[in-house]
Structure 1
Amino acid sequence: MPRGERPLGPEDTALLRFAGDLRRLRDQAGKPSYRELARRANYSPTALSDAAGGRKLPSLALTLAFVRACEADPASWTRRWRELAAEHTQPLHPNTPYPGGAPFTETDAKRFFGRECLVEQVVESVRAKTVTVVFGASGSGRTSLLRAGLLPALDDAVVVTPGQDPVRDLAAALAEIFENTTASRLAQEFREDPDHLRLRIRQHRPGLVLLVDDFERALDADDFVAAVTRCPHVVLSVRADERRRWHDKGVDAAEITIEPMSADQVRRAITEPAAKIGATVETAVIARLVADAANQHALSLVQQALVETWRRKRGMTLSLAGFEESGGIEHVVAQSAETFFAGLGEADQRVARQLFLRLVSVPRNGIVQRRNRLLDVDARLLGLLVKARLVTLTEDGVELTHDALLRWPRLAGWIDEERENLRTHQQLVTAIELWEASDRDPLALYRGVRLRKAKELGEFLTVQERRFVDISTRRETRRSTALIAVVAVLLALVPGGVVYALANERKLTEMSDRALGGKALSQSEALLEQRRPYADKYALVGYAVSPSAEAEKVLRLANAVASGILFTGTPKDDADVVVSPRGEMAAVTDQDGTDRMWGIDDGKAWPGKKFADRHRVVKLAERRAITRDFNGQEHLWAVGDANDVTYLTALPGRFRTLDLSPDGSRLAGKVGASVEVGLPTPDESEYAELYDLSDPRHPRKLPMPVSNPGTVALSQDGRELATGVWNSATGTTTIEFWSIGGTVESAGPAMSQHAYVRGITYSGDGRWLAVEHSSPESVVEVWQRVPSGTPVLRARLDTALRAGARVTFSDDGRVAVVRDNVFEVHQLHASDRPADRLVYVVGHGNSTRAVFRPQNRDFLVRSGGQDPELLPYDLDTDSIIKRMCEKDGARLTDSEWVKSFGEVPRVNVC
């Protein structure tokens, strides 16, 4: 007979109450025996009995196994376990290798990893320029860079952090540097003549470098700005959202932007500090943190998660079990958010709730996302949110710091309560953007149901949004008054109603779903060949009544053709079309052979500015363009939008661009008499060059690790370079990866390919790498990147077509390949499962790279005709149907239905 449980006694501690509730949970489940629980939970009966024994806190994994075996909710028990575990964790040992949420200081220099290239870049800039400005979003690590990176790297440097009185703070920091003076005397000197600081440094400390943190606090203090910017060497740290205020100062300076850390940099920031003291981090922990933090400004969150994992370490190992018990970044964020919110007053809580909700969007697919917005909110509260690492201030506005905030239970509950309002608000924001883009065309204003819903948003509306609603309301009132007058006249003239009937010779009355669907698809395909309207509407009928893979294919294609983006007016036939990385702009060749910028939005394109006479765009990136003139000389341009095109500088003579990073920060190319990319036997006189475009008017040459590669590729952020070098003797191409900063260093193991590599393409997040071989047919291999490890082959996309593939990645693991007039899309898998072909269309692509648009979740692909037309190819069938139904573009007219299907009852497609 099984032995009964040991009585718990008075539940006068949190641990005993926890154990008692576990026992009551078992009672509610019918009080199964511990042997039966063990079978369900896959733990021993003894372990499960001890979990409810009340003597020690069981592990999280054991607790959740117990809870699931009793068929209870694991989420609520996870939260409760972590609250209890916080009381039982070990105190933080002094030798912890991570600083937690605090910035790194000079004493942390030996454990400051992942920013070595950035430090070298700034140090090199200090040697070359008087003033160097480092821009970074809030939370990007500007303070850590100055104190733990630059201060130890420079021979003579001092950090100044301005406060309420910047000149006094400057004097206080320098009083210990200069002899025979005081802080008050220095402050008086600097106020009387800001040039005194420069003179003192030249006389007493000529090599001194001033490192000014949070410089944006002192932008209004002209005497302070004048004093520090005249120094021989100064590095200014400026928050990204204050970039324009800095530019208004008109100071000549080198500019460097702190980009989010790459996967390899995050890995180094995790593993190297632990290795310094003989500790190790389990690979699974590294993988989880890299996935959560790579390419985001999340180092502070990573450090906090590591500190909590360190409290639960096993020996000198940071284990996955300890990491999961700590809750990782998600728990850090949720705990910080809850603590912050609980500390606010009732009025501030209401404002904070609205602020959080304004920073999320619920697109058509229903998946909640962060969004970046310009907000008109209380600066004090916004500052508190920034300090708590809950929001980030960027050059474009305000955004939630991390996706984990979307899973903060309180915010998730608010989102569920306001989901419909959030959808309405998202539509309103888009409508305002379109209204502004159309020069405030009255036809773009709201009316009817949309206007009524917008009015109901109330506190959701910003000042700008409320103004749009008010203008729409006034126009709706005027329209209603005019309509009443017109109806009154018509009623006086027409005494009766108008009735009409539709006839059809065939008088069809019945048709099976399969027959009706087949007929609708045939009609759609016939209209597609003739490029006539209604093809998408017939395709929707075919898909609605008889869904199939073929019907889905026709619907996608018909929708793409119906939504085609035309460049009407001046473009010549078969013009070159170069699309920006996010599909928001395109450069198209005019009749005179000169490229013009076009803006793209909401399915339309509008003309912008032209480049110089007969300049053709070679590469187009965010904010940058490379053109080639009729003499073959290449030039660099700044492109803010379609109407903001500014010439920057000519590139070196005989330079030919090989790649421009999508963010416009790095440029790679070759210099030589006859540069032909991808030849197996390159000209020995050629050589490769690499440039940093942080100061675009003065591109800065960087070390090029390979003298004459056959092909090169730059990552999204320009911080990694891939080079392919062909060895004709062995018939192999060696692909190497390089991390780019002030210097260039290896970023991982090389790959050896037993074929000639014609092209290399990075995915935007750096997780995937596409390599095109020539044999002579085009073969595209897609490799999954492994941090500091050898890439793993995940897909091989063969074709009978000749070489010339143009590869594009989406942000959700899809890869699009264009070869001649064939466009195909495959879904990749991070496993041995072969890639799934989602699209294969002949007659589209036209040897132009497809572009993935994250804002639309579709691919822009060139049509197969001579017109410079782009087709938005959406693979989400539900999204296509929803969009057609919302725009009332799904229903065939009565006459078209009867003409095609006789008296067969109409099908409701929405």
Structure 2
Amino acid sequence: MPRGERPLGPEDTALLRFAGDLRRLRDQAGKPSYRELARRANYSPTALSDAAGGRKLPSLALTLAFVRACEGDATPWTKRWRELAAEHALPLHPNAPYPGGVPFTEHDSKRFFGRECLVEQVVESVKAKPLTVVVGPSGSGRTSLLQAGLLPALDDAVVITPAKNALEDLARVLTEVFDDVTEEQLADEFRQDPDHLRLRVRQHRPGLVLLVDDFEKALDQDDFVAALARCPHVVLAVRADHRDRLLEKSLGGTEITIEPMSADQLRRAITEPAAKIGATVETAVIARLVADAANQHALPLVQQALVETWRRKRGMTLSLAGFEESGGIEHVVARAAEAFFETLTDDDRRAVRRVFLRLVSVQRNGNAQRRNRRLDVDPPLLDLLAKARLVTLTEDGIELAHDVVLRWPQLAAWIEEEGENLRTHQQLVTAIELWEASDRDPLALYRGARLRKAKDLGDFLTVQERRFVDKSVKRETRRSTALIAVMAVLLALVPGTVVYALANERKLTEAHDRELGGKAISESEALMEQRRPYADKYALVGYKVYPSAEAEKVLRLANAVARGIPFTGTPKDDADVLVGPRGELAAVTDEDGTDRMWGLDEDRAVPGKRFAEHHRVVKLAERRAVTKDATGRQHLWSVNDANDINYLAPLPDRFQVLDISADGSRVVGKIGGAVELGLPTPDTSERGVLLDLGDPRRPRELPIPVRDAETVALSQDGRELATAAWDAAAGVTTIEFWSIGGTFERAAPPLLQPVYVRGITYSGDGRWLAVEHSPESVVEVWQRVPSGTPVLRAKLDSALRYGARVSFSDDDRVAVVRDNIFEVQQLYTTDRRADRLVYVVGHGNSTRAVYRPQFHDFLVRGGGQDPELLPYQLDSGQIIKKMCEKDGARLTDSEWVKSFGEVERVKVC
């Protein structure tokens, strides 16, 4: 008889209450035994019992496994676990390599990385000119640059941070520089004659450089500005939204803009500080942070996420487990937003709500996106939002600090409440852009139903937008008055004339836009066929002028072709290309029939090492590859990156791999005769085996529990095996699910299919299962139910009866490649039919599409013989944003005139 649980006693601590609620969740689920929970959760009974023991905080993964095994909702438990983990996190050690949410100081100079080029640029400017102005948006690291970058790099420098009385702040700092003078004496000198500062510097410290932080706070203090303007060496750091005020002062000098950190710079900022104290950061953590923050002014958020990960470090390693437990950048932003919101009054909360909603746009597909806008908002409120790292203040306006702000629950709720108004507002913004592009043509003003909806937007409108609506109202009023005056006459003279005139007026602008947009789309398609540049720019013009499903389709494809990743050098025509699970590595066949590893970045490939001669990769996972040599023998390799591949061991004689888990922990295959996927194998001497790669040089063999399984698949974490056995007499395939431990145990009831099953594919989180039928190549997608029978959610058919290659994204999308057809469908956990998001002919080329979570796109094989990969981004808003950020959206004047003649240029960004 199993031993009962140890009583918790009084639940007088947060940890004990957490454990008590886990126990009550188990009671609500019917109080299954811990052995039964272990079968559902793939954790040992002891681990699950300890999770509810109240002695220590279980890991997030163990907690969520417990909750899911009890059929609970993981979302509130995740939030609660992180709140509890923050209380139990280790205190920040003095040797922590990251400053967190505060700027770097002079004492942090030895761990200030990633800005070396910028520091050198400013130092060179100081040597060449008296005045250097450093401009950057909020969160760009201006203070860190001055304190930890420039101060140590210059031979003689001081930092001044002015406030309400800048001259006194200046005098206070310089008292430590000049001997035998008091703060009051210096301040009086500078008030009487600002030139005294220049004279003192020249006489006593001619090489002194004044580094002025937050200069925008003193722009209105003319005596302070005049004193600095006369000095021989000055660096002014100014927030970008105050640049226009700075230009009004006509100070001259060299202007240097702080650009966002590139991926390489951000990697250095993450890894080098840890290396300084002998710590390491796991590659997966680096990849996640680089994907989230590269080319954005998000370094403060990265630093805070790293500090939280440091609190949860394993030894001296910042691990992915610790990073995920901390919640990453998303949790940093959510916690900052909640803390900031709690300090506000009701009026301030309503003001913040208005600001946030005006920085959001909702696309036609319902997705919310950040947008940069100029808002008439009280500066103190904006300063507080910027200080909390919730918004970024730029020269062009204001925007949310990061995409994760959109996922803050409070903002997500506001967006849902105001969805219709946000969509109406987005249409208004587009209309204003077209109105401006048409030289404010009155025909482009609003009228009718669109005008009535725009008038109801109220607080959503900026001054410029309100001006457009007012002009539209005035024109509508004049037009209505004129129509009333002539209506009777026109109707009496020519019935139908007025109706025709009104309809014709509405159609003029639409016809013009449709013609221009169609011409741009046609030009884009022609350029893509010829593999010439500018195809994506023409597609963007067509999409902006006349948005439609077809224009969006061409924009996505043109962007993918423009960003195509070629494999230059030795790969042969029509070479095999096998991409790793996260799209970070690829194996490509060289001219001599040997595979080479390549490292994949966002839109380029870097060659790495080759495998042994004539070895071809047949399966590629994280850190593992299976190759086949010229004799057909298969071998196991470790693959840490493109330049770090090492031979491990030969696989058993006559072994043929059928599947490998994405994490590289297990391989499943058959030992015996030749294996051809998708066909029954009558060779009774064959046996199915699973190889556990815990010790990769000596894989442990486990016999598969189903002897005659023709099709097998491993879950991506290697913890579950699916087998499909065909009963020819009954015409039924039985799919069974097995939890893998020391032995195999059933993970769910069997699934019967009245067809032959050719392929099975798990989603990354195990929530979805794709089953491919043969010979029709129909793909059914099933939703996994904990310990229950899967539920059919989608049936993906095609006119092309060709083997399907299925993959999943991490947001419930499924990609299917059939020969040269690539399609993506959105799945739903209800009876709603799947939505087809993409259907492209000419791409795919018999290679599985790979979803890249770090870039939110799919890698698809190009349509020709070249071993090229296309990064296919589904979110048109992100495509436009990236094109505009890289200044890759605007056609040159010559290209525009050549294609569209004297038509007014369309503003695309």
| CA apart distance, 1:861 | 9.8
Return the offset for 1:243: 1.7
Q: How many residues matched?
A: 601
Deviation at 1:345, TM superposition (A): 0.2
Q: CA offset at residue 497 of structure 1?
A: 13
- Separation of aligned partners in 2, 1:440 and 1:860: 21
Cα offset, 1:483, TM superposition: 3.1
What residue number does 2:602 align with? 767
Deviation sequence 1:342-375 (CA, Å, 0-9, x none): 1100000001001001111112232211110000
Amino acid at match of 2:400: L
Q: CA deviation digits over 1:76-126, x for unaligned, max 9?
A: 110011111122111111211111100000011111111111111111111
Q: 1:856 to 1:333 in 2, by over 3 A?
A: closer
Match of 1:836 among 855, 860, 882: 860
Q: Which amino acid aligns with 2:389?
A: R
Paired residues of 1:579 and 1:585 also in contact (CA < 8 A): no
* CA distance in structure 2 between the aligned counterparts of 1:559 and 1:435, rounded to whole angstroms: 15
Distance 1:69 1:128 in 2: 67
Residue 869 of structure 1 corresponds to which residue in structure 2? 899
1:495 Cα deviation after fit: 8.8
State the alpha-carbon separation in 2 of the partners of residues 32 and 458 from structure 1.
55
CA deviation after TM superposition for structure 1 residue 391, in Å = 0.6
Q: Which residue of 2 aligns with 1:25?
A: 25
Q: For residues 484 and 856 of structure 1, do their structure 2 counterparts lie closer, same or farther at Cα, with a shift above 3 Å needed?
A: farther
Greater CA deviation, 19-28 or 106-115?
19-28
1:527-676 alignment, distance < 5 Å: 561-562=518-519, 602=545
Distance 1:420 1:145, change over 3 A: same
Q: Provide the rounded CA distance (Å) in 2 between the counterparts of 1:44 and 1:753.
A: 43
Alignment-derived partner of residue 98 in structure 1 = 98
Q: Alpha-carbon deviations, 1:813-864, whole Å to 9, x = none?
A: 9xxxxxxxxx998898468999536889xxxxxxxxxxx99439999999xx
Flag the 1:132–1:753 CA change in 2: closer, same or farther, 3 A: farther
Deviation at 1:184, TM superposition (A): 1.4
Superposed, which structure 2 residues align to 1:419-430 within 5 Å?
Answer: 419-430=419-430
Q: Secondary structure at the match of 1:392?
A: strand
Quote the Cα distance in structure 2 between the aligned partners of 1:259 and 1:458.
Answer: 36
Please give the alpha-carbon distance, in whole angstroms, between the structure 2 residues aligned to 1:459 and 1:19: 46
- What is the one-letter code of the residue matched to 1:116? E
Question: What amino acid is the match of 1:268?
Answer: R
Aligned amino acid, residue 458 of structure 1: G
Could you say what secondary structure the match of 1:869 adopts? Answer: helix
Quick one: which amino acid aligns to residue 898 of structure 2? P
C-alpha distance in 1, partners of 2:271/2:471?
A: 57
Q: Secondary structure at the match of 1:4?
A: coil
Give a deviation string over 1:440-496, Cα, whole Å, max 9, x none.
322111111111111221222223322322221222223233334444335545799
Q: What's 2:78 paired with?
A: 78
Residue matched to 1:309:
309
Code of the aligned partner of 1:767: E
Q: Is 1:155 matched with 2:155? A: yes
Measure, in 2, the Cα distance between the counterparts of 1:41 and 1:188.
Answer: 74
Deviation per residue, 1:2-59 (Å, 9 max, x gap): 2222222332322222112112212222222211111111100111111111222111
- Rounded to whole Å, the distance in 2 between the matches of 1:177 and 1:393 is 34
CA apart distance, 1:582: 6.4
Structure 2 CA distance for aligned equivalents of residues 791 and 452 of structure 1: 62
Looking at structure 1, the residues matched to 280 and 324 of structure 2 have their Cα atoms a distance apart, in angstroms, of 16
Q: Aligned partners of 1:68 and 1:297: how far apart in 2?
A: 37
Give the 3-state SS of the residue equivalent to 1:135 in structure 2. strand
What fraction of aligned residue pairs are identical, expressed as a percent? 70
Contact 1:138-1:386 at 8 Å conserved across structures: yes
Partner of 1:394: 394
Shift of 1:384: 0.6
Distance 1:319 1:116, change over 3 A: same
Letter in 1 for 2:545: D
Matches of 2:171 and 2:233, distance apart in 1: 17
Call closer, same or farther: CA 1:112–1:866 in 2, change over 3 Å: closer
Name the CA shift for 1:373/1:186 in 2 (closer, same or farther; >3 Å). Answer: same
Find the counterpart in structure 1 of residue 65 from structure 2.
65
Distance change >3 Å, CA 581–CA 834, structure 1 → 2: closer
CA distance in 2, matches of 1:170, 1:322: 44
Aligned match for 2:880, one of 855, 861, 867: 855
For residues 122 and 753 of structure 1, the distance between their equivalents in structure 2, rounded to whole angstroms, comes to: 46
Three-state SS of the structure 2 residue aligned to 1:356 is helix
> Which residue type is aligned with residue 18 of structure 2?
F
Aligned to 1:35: 35
Aligned mates of 2:540, 2:63 — CA distance in 1: 54
| Contact kept? 1:565, 1:603, Cα under 8 Å | no
Equivalents in 1 of 2:149, 2:35: separation in Å? 57
Q: Which residue of 2 aligns with 1:639?
A: none
Deviation at 1:146, TM superposition (A): 0.3
Matched residue type, 1:46: T
Change (3 A) 1:566 1:75: closer
The reply to whether residue 112 of structure 1 matches residue 133 of structure 2 is no
Q: Deviations over 1:756-805 (max 9, x none)?
A: xxxxxxx9x97222799xxxxxxxxxxxxx9x975999xxxxxxxxxxxx
Q: Which moved more, 1:340-349 or 1:91-100?
A: 91-100
Q: Deviations over 1:125-170 (max 9, x none)?
A: 1111111111111110000000000001111000011110111111
Shift of 1:282: 1.4
Identify if the C-alpha distance between structure 1 residues 583 and 244 changes in structure 2 by more than 3 Å, giving closer, same or farther: farther
Give the structure 2 partner of residue 144 of structure 1.
144
The amino acid of 1:254's aligned partner reads T
Q: Distance in 2 between matches of 1:559 and 1:110?
A: 56
Q: Distance in 2 between matches of 1:496 and 1:559?
A: 30
CA distance in 1, matches of 2:494, 2:536: 57
Q: Where does residue 181 of structure 2 map in the other structure?
A: 181
8 Å CA contact 2:851–2:859 kept in 1: the answer is: no
- Shift in Å at residue 870 of structure 1? 7.0
Amino acid at match of 2:320: L
- Alignment correspondent of 2:792: none
Match of 1:238, SS state, is strand
- Structure 1 residues 101 and 831, CA gap change in structure 2 (3 angstroms): closer
Gap change, CA 1:72 and 1:362, over 3 Å in 2: same
Q: CA, structure 1 residues 79+495, in 2 after alignment: closer, same or farther (shift >3 Å)?
A: closer
**Conserved 8 A contact 1:566-1:868:** no
Counterpart contact for 1:564–1:870, Cα < 8 Å: no
Matches within 5 A, 1:345-356: 345-356=345-356
Separation (CA, whole Å) in 2 of partners of 1:856 and 1:385:
23
Maintained 8 Å contact 2:487/2:498: no
Counterpart of 2:559 in structure 1 is none
- Unaligned ranges ≥5, structure 1: 500-532, 538-557, 568-576, 587-598, 605-714, 716-723, 728-751, 756-762, 773-785, 794-811, 814-822, 841-851, 872-910
Q: Distance in 1 between matches of 2:332 and 2:111?
A: 21
Is the CA contact 1:435–1:445 (under 8 Å) kept in the aligned structure 2? yes
Tell me the residue number matched to 1:294.
294
Report whether the alignment pairs 1:172 with 2:187: no
CA displacement 1:579-632 (0-9 Å, x = unmatched): 69967999xxxxxxxxxxxx996369xxxxxxxxxxxxxxxxxxxxxxxxxxxx
Structure 2 match to 1:629:
none
SS at match of 2:231: coil
Contact 1:824 1:837 in 2 (8 A): no
| C-alpha separation in 2, matches of 1:259 and 1:418 | 34
Partners of 2:239 and 2:897 in 1: how far apart? Answer: 45
Structure 2: gaps spanning 5 or more residues: 500-509, 525-531, 548-562, 571-587, 592-598, 608-622, 624-639, 646-812, 816-840, 865-875, 884-888, 902-909
Q: State TM-score, norm by structure 2.
A: 0.60
> Which one-letter code corresponds to 2:602 in the other structure?
R
Q: Which moved more, 1:487-496 or 1:262-271?
A: 487-496
Secondary structure of the 2:604 match is strand
1:489 is aligned to 489
Decide whether the 8 Å contact of 1:82 with 1:326 is kept in 2.
yes
